[in-house]
Structure 1
């Protein structure tokens, strides 16, 4: 449940106006208006592209990371967080996670570091954020880049610091399931440095080096920009839905308890059950699993070079986690159906 169909019903006139305005223009005309809006939001330079995956991939390429290098990342996330590393020729190094936040464990990061490590890709999972100050200190100490995967956390903040503003390079995604989405996906790169390399990479390298077809078309940019201006309302609605789940379920399942200094966008509302059997029984009726296995357990890694820490926590979480339906437009009646199903099956 993403809720975009319901928003269209509510705001149909505005969407038709956007469509009409866009169709009277060249679809490959500039989309700087969206980049300008993102730049104002994050106080950084912004370059948009075709997807959050491309944004991560281009981030690594811009840092000249490739064969012979290693990149630290989590063993519990969407697979592109790690696959982009292998796409450059570098070796992914999988770290375990913290049992409460589901974010990368500093102890595992330190354990898996080697002199070949050139960067870390750190995702804020499900829209949640944690204190990354010690991880950033470690990166500075070891002279490695901190790439912030903020693809799931647009609008979230920790100690009033926005996700997307803390990485040497940060990335966003506008995939259909995100808090702000385009009609055809999309991504963005945020940096305080030079952006020309990203603009060339998204347009076949402009003949100067190898590049890719990763442009964003005008109508998609218009939809993202329109929704970006409604982000605070989306988050408030998601937070209200999450609070209702918390109130009704906290005695029965493991929920994430968020500190007061966290502004969570609730891209996903996740709970954990006492074991895989119970989780799977509930999953047969409601919800989705994000994610069903540690990344390194995917069959592709049988043939791809990688290193990995023991992933006991990643495995526990993969076996017991479930994402419940949430959107800005979910109703209490719909939530009650989810809640009652869980209470009946646990």
Structure 2
């Protein structure tokens, strides 16, 4: 038996008829940039997450970069974040000219440890960027309390955690501004790249909309007025076809970038969003099965905090002999993934920051032990049984 880490074709087959119709409708309509599907998807995400504003962008990394820019974070500033995550988290901070300051993680949740944040705050610190790693929300009450005390902004990197909850509230609604990725392997993934910024702050949302499209048009003028405290009405974009010709885009007010979600991707994501809770519930069911079946092995299963709803973007195990376990599973047709083999503070790209081995021991410990086994909503009972039976035979 061959089992992929995630089977994207299987998910597509489950919604093929509806997705194909929506894609063909977009193609036949001839409006491919910032059309009705983008607008409706943004509205639907806001409704789902529980925020007032959603701003779609080209990918999750751009979402983080634009959110940082909208907050005015740049050269000379510091942003506190986790070393145990995908590189884009820290990369976005560096990209705007700021410096990532790494704080070690909680050994159980793998998320940034709030108890270790305050000691890293300096007069250069402008924000905290927690990551809801693998689909489990951080301890946001503690993080927000620290941020409020020190007058800092909080940016949720929720790229792996759409649909997860902290004390009954959706990830993305727990901070000043939050970012999602719709990379195909995410719990809500498109057929390419895509991302989203969500916030309750009208001014932040307006600046983000301007920055995603060259700082131009009505959004650019509104953002310029906000930043410069100018009280005047902007020229409105009255439904101009952005695909062919929009005269307002030739009036630029800010230095932005080109980071728009395609109309085709928005159409696909609208279909998938309607299925997200069903798929996340299936992931949680699979995780409970794994937990029960593997509890008597020498592998450490994921920890789920009492006050969260974990959506298991990845199901992460820990092994004292990861390389042998991973090779053994591969030999038996079971795909795995190592997340993350090198914590960010030890990446060569951040050599100049001066971190060394032993500085952040929990992240380093996990980087040598953690690996993922197959996790996607469409896993069959037969596949799950084969996976756990194979794991139990390791070392026989």
**Cα distance between partner residues in 1 of 2:303 and 2:128:** 26
- Output the TM-score relative to the length of structure 1: 0.95
* Conserved? CA contact 1:174–1:186, under 8 Å: yes
Q: Which residue of 1 aligns with 2:342?
A: 293
Q: Distance in 2 between matches of 1:75 and 1:260?
A: 24
Segments of 4+ moved more than 3 angstroms: 275-286, 305-309
* Partner in structure 2 of residue 159 of structure 1: 167
Give me the whole-angstrom Cα distance separating, in 2, the residues matched to 1:336 and 1:157: 29
Is 1:7 matched up with 2:17? Answer: no
CA distance in 2, matches of 1:32, 1:265: 26
Q: Does 1:337 align with 2:386?
A: yes
Q: Which residue of 1 aligns with 2:26?
A: 22
2:217 pairs with 1:201? no
1:112-151 → structure 2 map (5 Å cutoff):
112-151=120-159
How many residues in Structure 1 have an aligned counterpart in Structure 2? 345
- CA-to-partner distance for each residue in 1:306-344, whole Å, 9 max, x for gaps? 768921110110100011111010112222232233223
In 2 relative to 1, CA 306–57 (structure 1 residues): closer, same or farther, beyond 3 Å?
A: farther
Pick from 28, 42, 45 the counterpart of residue 38 of structure 1: 45
Contact 1:282 1:341 in 2 (8 A): no
Match of 1:103 among 111, 136, 154: 111
CA distance in 2 between partners of 1:168 and 1:298 (Å): 29
Deviation string, structure 1 residues 220-245 (Cα, Å, up to 9, x no partner) = 00111110111111011111111111
Q: 1:273 aligns with which of 310, 315, 319?
A: 319
The SS at the match of 1:316 is helix
Q: For residues 140 and 321 of structure 2, what CA distance do their matches in structure 1 show?
A: 30
When structure 1 is superposed on structure 2, of 119-128 and 332-341 the one drifting more is 332-341
Aligned-pair CA distance for 1:2: 3.0
Aligned to 2:232: none
CA RMSD of aligned residues (A): 1.8
| Structure 1 runs not aligned, ≥5 long | none
Residue of structure 1 in register with 2:300 after alignment: 254
Greater mean alpha carbon deviation, residues 140-149 or residues 332-341 = 332-341
Larger Rg: 2
Go from structure 1 to structure 2 and tell me whether the alpha carbon gap of 1:99 and 1:275 turns closer, same or farther (over 3 Å shift): farther
Name 1:313's counterpart in structure 2.
362
- TM-score (norm: length of structure 2): 0.83
| Secondary structure of 2:367's aligned partner | helix
The structure in which a higher percent of residues are strand is 1
Structure 1 range deviating more: 103-112 or 59-68: 103-112
Task: Give me the whole-angstrom Cα distance separating, in 1, the residues matched to 2:215 and 2:329.
Answer: 45
State the Cα distance separating 1:131 from its structure 2 match.
Answer: 2.6
Counterpart of 2:372 in structure 1 is: 323
Q: CA deviation at 1:282?
A: 4.6
Alignment gaps of 5+ in structure 2:
217-251
1:92–1:307 contact (8 Å) kept in structure 2: no
Please, which moves more after superposition, 273-282 or 37-46? Answer: 273-282
CA distance in 1, matches of 2:355, 2:209: 32
Shift of 1:200: 1.2
Q: Any idea what SS the aligned residue of 1:188 has?
A: strand
Q: Once the 2 structures are TM-superposed, how far is the Cα of residue 280 of structure 1 from its aligned partner?
A: 4.9
